[in-house]
Chains A and B, each alone.
Chain A
Amino acid sequence: MLAPSHFSAVLLFATFASVVFGITQRSTPKAMVQYGLYCWSIFVGVVIVASWVMWLIRR
Protein backbone atom coordinates (compact mmCIF):
# COMPACT_ATOMS: atom_id res chain seq x y z
CA MET A 1 0.00 0.00 0.00
CA LEU A 2 1.21 3.46 -0.90
CA ALA A 3 1.17 5.70 2.16
CA PRO A 4 2.51 9.19 1.46
CA SER A 5 2.67 11.77 4.22
CA HIS A 6 -0.08 14.35 4.37
CA PHE A 7 2.15 17.00 2.82
CA SER A 8 3.38 14.64 0.09
CA ALA A 9 -0.24 13.91 -0.81
CA VAL A 10 -0.89 17.65 -1.04
CA LEU A 11 2.11 18.12 -3.34
CA LEU A 12 0.97 15.28 -5.61
CA PHE A 13 -2.61 16.59 -5.69
CA ALA A 14 -1.49 20.16 -6.42
CA THR A 15 0.86 19.07 -9.19
CA PHE A 16 -1.63 16.92 -11.10
CA ALA A 17 -4.54 19.32 -10.69
CA SER A 18 -2.41 22.33 -11.71
CA VAL A 19 -1.26 20.61 -14.93
CA VAL A 20 -4.89 19.99 -15.93
CA PHE A 21 -6.02 23.50 -14.93
CA GLY A 22 -3.14 25.10 -16.83
CA ILE A 23 -3.82 23.18 -20.04
CA THR A 24 -7.59 23.51 -20.00
CA GLN A 25 -8.00 27.09 -18.77
CA ARG A 26 -5.49 28.89 -20.97
CA SER A 27 -4.81 28.97 -24.70
CA THR A 28 -1.10 29.62 -25.18
CA PRO A 29 1.76 27.46 -23.82
CA LYS A 30 3.29 30.38 -21.91
CA ALA A 31 -0.03 31.27 -20.28
CA MET A 32 -0.60 27.58 -19.46
CA VAL A 33 2.71 27.32 -17.61
CA GLN A 34 2.11 30.58 -15.76
CA TYR A 35 -1.41 29.62 -14.72
CA GLY A 36 -0.32 26.11 -13.74
CA LEU A 37 2.40 27.51 -11.49
CA TYR A 38 -0.06 30.02 -10.04
CA CYS A 39 -2.57 27.26 -9.23
CA TRP A 40 0.15 25.07 -7.71
CA SER A 41 1.39 27.85 -5.45
CA ILE A 42 -2.19 28.67 -4.37
CA PHE A 43 -2.94 25.01 -3.60
CA VAL A 44 0.21 24.52 -1.53
CA GLY A 45 0.14 28.00 0.01
CA VAL A 46 -3.44 27.68 1.24
CA VAL A 47 -2.67 24.30 2.79
CA ILE A 48 0.35 25.67 4.65
CA VAL A 49 -1.60 28.70 5.93
CA ALA A 50 -4.57 26.52 6.96
CA SER A 51 -2.21 24.16 8.76
CA TRP A 52 -0.71 26.99 10.80
CA VAL A 53 -4.18 28.38 11.58
CA MET A 54 -5.27 24.96 12.87
CA TRP A 55 -2.08 24.71 14.91
CA LEU A 56 -2.77 28.12 16.47
CA ILE A 57 -6.41 27.23 17.21
CA ARG A 58 -5.34 24.04 18.93
CA ARG A 59 -2.90 25.83 21.27
Chain B
Amino acid sequence: MASKVQVPAKTQTTSQGFLYSALILGWLVPGAGHVLTGRWVRGLLLFVSIASMFWLGLAMQGKLYVPNTGDVLDMLGFAGDLGNGLFYALGRIFDLGHGAVQIATADYGTKFVVVAGLLNFISAVDAHNLRIGRKA
Protein backbone atom coordinates (compact mmCIF):
# COMPACT_ATOMS: atom_id res chain seq x y z
CA MET B 1 0.00 0.00 0.00
CA ALA B 2 1.60 3.20 -1.15
CA SER B 3 1.51 6.10 1.26
CA LYS B 4 0.78 9.57 -0.04
CA VAL B 5 2.06 11.33 3.05
CA GLN B 6 4.23 14.21 1.92
CA VAL B 7 7.66 14.06 3.47
CA PRO B 8 9.67 17.29 3.59
CA ALA B 9 13.18 17.17 2.17
CA LYS B 10 14.72 18.11 5.47
CA THR B 11 13.56 16.72 8.75
CA GLN B 12 12.52 19.51 11.08
CA THR B 13 12.49 19.16 14.80
CA THR B 14 9.40 21.11 15.82
CA SER B 15 9.40 20.31 19.48
CA GLN B 16 11.70 20.24 22.42
CA GLY B 17 12.16 17.68 25.12
CA PHE B 18 12.50 13.92 24.88
CA LEU B 19 12.32 13.02 21.19
CA TYR B 20 10.57 9.69 21.63
CA SER B 21 7.93 10.79 24.13
CA ALA B 22 5.08 10.68 21.58
CA LEU B 23 6.18 7.24 20.36
CA ILE B 24 6.32 5.75 23.85
CA LEU B 25 3.20 7.50 25.16
CA GLY B 26 1.31 6.59 21.98
CA TRP B 27 2.29 2.96 22.45
CA LEU B 28 1.30 2.86 26.12
CA VAL B 29 -2.05 4.62 25.62
CA PRO B 30 -3.57 4.61 22.11
CA GLY B 31 -3.92 8.15 20.76
CA ALA B 32 -1.98 9.76 23.61
CA GLY B 33 0.97 10.48 21.31
CA HIS B 34 -1.28 12.52 19.04
CA VAL B 35 -2.74 14.36 22.02
CA LEU B 36 0.82 15.17 23.10
CA THR B 37 1.45 16.80 19.72
CA GLY B 38 -1.74 18.83 20.00
CA ARG B 39 -3.94 16.70 17.70
CA TRP B 40 -6.80 16.11 20.14
CA VAL B 41 -9.42 14.96 17.66
CA ARG B 42 -7.08 12.50 15.97
CA GLY B 43 -5.97 11.21 19.36
CA LEU B 44 -9.55 10.73 20.52
CA LEU B 45 -10.56 8.91 17.32
CA LEU B 46 -7.51 6.64 17.55
CA PHE B 47 -8.18 5.91 21.21
CA VAL B 48 -11.83 5.06 20.60
CA SER B 49 -11.02 2.84 17.60
CA ILE B 50 -8.11 0.91 19.10
CA ALA B 51 -9.59 0.63 22.60
CA SER B 52 -12.93 -0.55 21.18
CA MET B 53 -11.20 -3.14 19.06
CA PHE B 54 -9.15 -4.44 22.01
CA TRP B 55 -11.98 -4.61 24.55
CA LEU B 56 -14.51 -5.98 22.05
CA GLY B 57 -11.94 -8.66 21.24
CA LEU B 58 -11.74 -9.64 24.89
CA ALA B 59 -15.55 -9.49 25.18
CA MET B 60 -15.67 -12.02 22.33
CA GLN B 61 -13.54 -14.35 24.48
CA GLY B 62 -10.37 -13.50 22.60
CA LYS B 63 -7.08 -14.98 23.70
CA LEU B 64 -4.21 -12.94 25.14
CA TYR B 65 -0.92 -14.43 23.99
CA VAL B 66 1.88 -14.96 26.48
CA PRO B 67 5.63 -15.05 25.77
CA ASN B 68 7.83 -18.13 25.75
CA THR B 69 5.34 -20.75 24.65
CA GLY B 70 7.79 -22.14 22.10
CA ASP B 71 5.30 -21.81 19.24
CA VAL B 72 6.32 -19.37 16.50
CA LEU B 73 2.72 -18.32 15.79
CA ASP B 74 2.18 -17.68 19.49
CA MET B 75 5.28 -15.48 19.53
CA LEU B 76 3.94 -13.47 16.59
CA GLY B 77 0.59 -13.16 18.34
CA PHE B 78 2.38 -11.98 21.46
CA ALA B 79 4.26 -9.35 19.44
CA GLY B 80 0.95 -8.09 18.08
CA ASP B 81 -0.72 -8.13 21.50
CA LEU B 82 2.20 -6.20 22.96
CA GLY B 83 1.27 -3.27 20.73
CA ASN B 84 -1.72 -2.61 22.96
CA GLY B 85 0.59 -1.20 25.63
CA LEU B 86 -1.12 -0.68 28.97
CA PHE B 87 -4.30 -2.39 27.77
CA TYR B 88 -2.33 -5.60 27.34
CA ALA B 89 -0.80 -5.17 30.80
CA LEU B 90 -4.26 -4.67 32.31
CA GLY B 91 -5.57 -7.71 30.47
CA ARG B 92 -2.75 -9.86 31.80
CA ILE B 93 -2.93 -8.47 35.35
CA PHE B 94 -6.67 -9.09 35.63
CA ASP B 95 -6.50 -12.31 33.60
CA LEU B 96 -9.10 -11.11 31.10
CA GLY B 97 -7.94 -13.20 28.15
CA HIS B 98 -9.26 -16.66 27.43
CA GLY B 99 -6.77 -19.49 27.13
CA ALA B 100 -8.27 -21.84 24.56
CA VAL B 101 -10.04 -20.69 21.40
CA GLN B 102 -12.94 -23.10 20.89
CA ILE B 103 -15.55 -21.14 18.96
CA ALA B 104 -15.41 -18.93 15.87
CA THR B 105 -16.34 -15.81 17.81
CA ALA B 106 -13.36 -16.32 20.14
CA ASP B 107 -11.11 -16.66 17.10
CA TYR B 108 -12.41 -13.34 15.79
CA GLY B 109 -11.85 -11.83 19.23
CA THR B 110 -8.25 -13.04 19.25
CA LYS B 111 -7.65 -11.43 15.86
CA PHE B 112 -9.31 -8.21 17.05
CA VAL B 113 -6.85 -8.00 19.96
CA VAL B 114 -3.80 -8.69 17.79
CA VAL B 115 -4.85 -6.24 15.08
CA ALA B 116 -5.63 -3.56 17.69
CA GLY B 117 -2.02 -3.89 18.85
CA LEU B 118 -0.66 -3.68 15.31
CA LEU B 119 -2.81 -0.62 14.58
CA ASN B 120 -1.49 0.98 17.76
CA PHE B 121 2.08 0.45 16.54
CA ILE B 122 1.16 2.36 13.35
CA SER B 123 -0.53 5.04 15.43
CA ALA B 124 2.49 5.46 17.72
CA VAL B 125 4.88 5.76 14.78
CA ASP B 126 2.56 8.35 13.22
CA ALA B 127 2.61 10.31 16.49
CA HIS B 128 6.42 10.14 16.44
CA ASN B 129 6.48 11.48 12.88
CA LEU B 130 4.26 14.37 13.95
CA ARG B 131 6.49 14.99 16.95
CA ILE B 132 9.71 15.26 14.95
CA GLY B 133 8.07 17.23 12.14
CA ARG B 134 8.34 14.55 9.48
CA LYS B 135 4.57 14.72 8.96
CA ALA B 136 2.39 17.81 9.01
Contact = CB atoms under 8 A, between A and B. Distances in A.
Q: Do A and B bind each other?
A: yes
Interface of A: 1-4, 6, 9, 12-13, 15-17, 19-21, 23-27, 31
Interface string B109-136: 1011001100100110110000000011
A25 B5 contact: yes
A47 to B, nearest CB: 13
Contacts, number: 71
**Interface bin, chain B:** 20 to 34
Interface residues of A: mostly helix, strand, loop or mixed?
A: helix
Interface residues of B: mostly helix, strand, loop or mixed?
A: helix
B105 interface: yes
Interface of B: 1, 3-6, 34, 42, 45-46, 48-50, 52-53, 56, 59-61, 104-105, 108-109, 111-112, 115-116, 119, 122-123, 125-126, 135-136
A20 B50 contact: yes
18 contacts: A2-B105, A6-B104, A9-B60, A9-B108, A9-B112, A12-B56, A13-B115, A16-B50, A16-B52, A16-B53, A16-B119, A17-B119, A20-B50, A20-B123, A21-B122, A23-B46, A24-B126, A25-B3
